[in-house]
Amino acid sequence: MTSFDAELEHRLDAIRRQHLLRGLRRVDSPQSTRVTIDSRAFLNFSSNDYLGLANHPALKNAAIEAIKKYGAGTGASRLVCGSLSPFHELEETLAVFKGTEAALTFSTGYATSLGAITALIGKEDIIAMDKLVHASIVDAAKLSGAKMRIFPHNDLEALEDILKWATTRTKGTAARTLVVTESIFSMDGDAAPLKEMVKLKDKYGVWLMVDEAHATGLYGKKQRGLIEAMGLSGQIEVQMGTLGKAIGASGGYICGSRALVDLLINRARSFIFSTAPVPAAAASAKVGIDLIGSSEGRKLNDTLWGRIEKFKNSFPKTKIASAIIPIILGDETKAIAVATQLYDKNILVPAIRYPTVRRGAARLRVTLNAAHSLQDMEKLV
């Protein structure tokens, strides 16, 4: 073994000793409510494909047609060798879906956070974010060089204190303050107090960015997300989300004003310095959004919420507000033991541990899918 590998093995041992070592499980089937691992069929409660679109014939077909028409790859960044039609069709569809002037897509949600936040703020500025925001937002905040202020989860008073401090600090300068939250939190499934946050950001004249990764396709009359459900469309500067969860494809997006999108095209480094995603992904995502807005999408949504209600009845003690159901076990070894027991029964439920959640807050994270049958649910319960 080289000294390089010996050093890395040493680090891996440290991770192992804390029961935090992770590995990949090879799946030999599409992602759906059933997956095949080691020739065994598993019931899958681990995916964010809430509406069952990842393996939907319409999305697969769109990808195939896009490949036939536009090929497999994209050659370069969209700014360098031209921007293929499927991206424009997707962005027009997204803007209409979200009710914003414009939209811009990125290769992933992670790249979206990184690109958008660092384009909007720099080291003179301030970023205030909820303690539980996604790692991509934390990484982006660090990369931006802005002063970071973290408020306890959904704590409006603490946020207001930060905004008061930021106001005195930035008075008479060009510095900006950006507040970032998720609408539905990825590991707890609870909602941010968006109405109150909009009031606060208006009161202090700061910007608000809301990540709807786990709400798009699930909330609101038109299933645009929690912003729509709370009647806040048009009041939030930056709407973000991913195309890889309920939408069923892959990629990330920002929706907002034309000026916002034009600035990102010029300043978002993860957009500028990265080869465009494959046209197949954009074409699938567009069909995913169309489908969510159709009567079929409505039906899938109703089914999903029916499943959530059913689960609530079986677990009256667990707080359930979305398709994400955290069953908190605390101890890392315990969470893994329970996940392993489920695995032995051919049920896939991930144990979520540090660093995804804080130490001692390990949990099973059950995610429900419109394609789960009632029997699937009963088996899990």
Ligand X SMILES: *Cc1c(COP(=O)(O)O)cnc(C)c1O
Give yes or no: 211 in active site. Answer: yes
Assess whether the previous peptide bond of 279 is cis (omega < 30° from 0): no
Give yes or no: 245 in active site. Answer: yes
Among 105, 186, 270, 284, indicate the residue that binds ligand X (CB under 6 A).
Answer: 186
| 225 scored as a contact of ligand X (CB under 6 A) | no
Residue list 54-93, contact with ligand X (CB under 6 A): none
| 108 scored as a contact of ligand X (CB under 6 A) | yes
- The nearest distance, CB 226 to ligand X, in angstroms, is 12
Number of other residues whose CB lies within 10 A of the CB of residue 92: 13
DSSP assignment of 134-156 equals: -HHHHHHHHHHTPEEEEEPTT-H
Closer of 186 and 284 to ligand X (Cβ): 186
DSSP β-ladder status, 324-330 and 347-348? unpaired
Start-to-end C-alpha separation, the chain = 47
| 322 scored as a contact of ligand X (CB under 6 A) | no
Give yes or no: 214 in active site. Answer: yes
177 token code pair: 């303050």
Rounded (5°) CA angle 35-41-47: 30
Among 53, 103, 127, 213, indicate the residue that binds ligand X (CB under 6 A).
Answer: 213
Number of other residues whose CB lies within 10 A of the CB of residue 266: 11
Closer of 136 and 367 to ligand X (Cβ): 136
Give yes or no: 142 in active site. Answer: no
| 288 scored as a contact of ligand X (CB under 6 A) | no
Q: Per the residue annotation, which of 46, 113, 136, 186 is the catalytic one?
A: 186
Nearest to 332 by CA among 37, 26, 15, 48: 15
| 219 scored as a contact of ligand X (CB under 6 A) | no
Closer of 134 and 176 to ligand X (Cβ): 134
Residues whose CB is less than 8 angstroms from the CB of residue 223 and which lie 6 or more positions away in sequence, other chains included = 216, 217, 292, 293, 297, 298, 301
Count the alpha carbons within 13 Å of 201 in the hemisphere toward its beta carbon: 25
- The nearest distance, CB 164 to ligand X, in angstroms, is 27
Binding pattern for the stretch 114-153 against ligand X, x by CB under 6 A and - elsewhere: --------------------x-x-----------------
Q: Per the residue annotation, which of 46, 48, 270, 369 is the catalytic one?
A: 48
Q: Per the residue annotation, which of 134, 147, 201, 372 is the catalytic one?
A: 134
Residue 293 and residue 222 in contact, taking contact as beta carbons nearer than 8 Å:
yes
**For 362, left (φ over 0), alpha (ψ -120 to 50), or beta?**
beta
| 242 scored as a contact of ligand X (CB under 6 A) | yes
In the chain, where does DSSP find H-type helix?
3-17, 57-70, 78-81, 85-98, 109-120, 135-144, 156-170, 194-204, 226-229, 258-267, 269-272, 279-292, 295-314, 332-344, 374-380
Residue at shortest CB range from ligand X:
109
| 109 scored as a contact of ligand X (CB under 6 A) | yes
Q: Per the residue annotation, which of 125, 188, 211, 212 is the catalytic one?
A: 211
Please identify, among the stretches 82-90, 207-215, 341-349, 366-374, the one whose residues bind ligand X according to the rule CB under 6 A: 207-215
Binding residues vs ligand X (CB under 6 A): 108-110, 113, 134, 136, 182, 186, 211, 213-214, 242, 244, 252
Which positions are catalytic?
Answer: 48, 134, 182, 186, 211, 214, 245
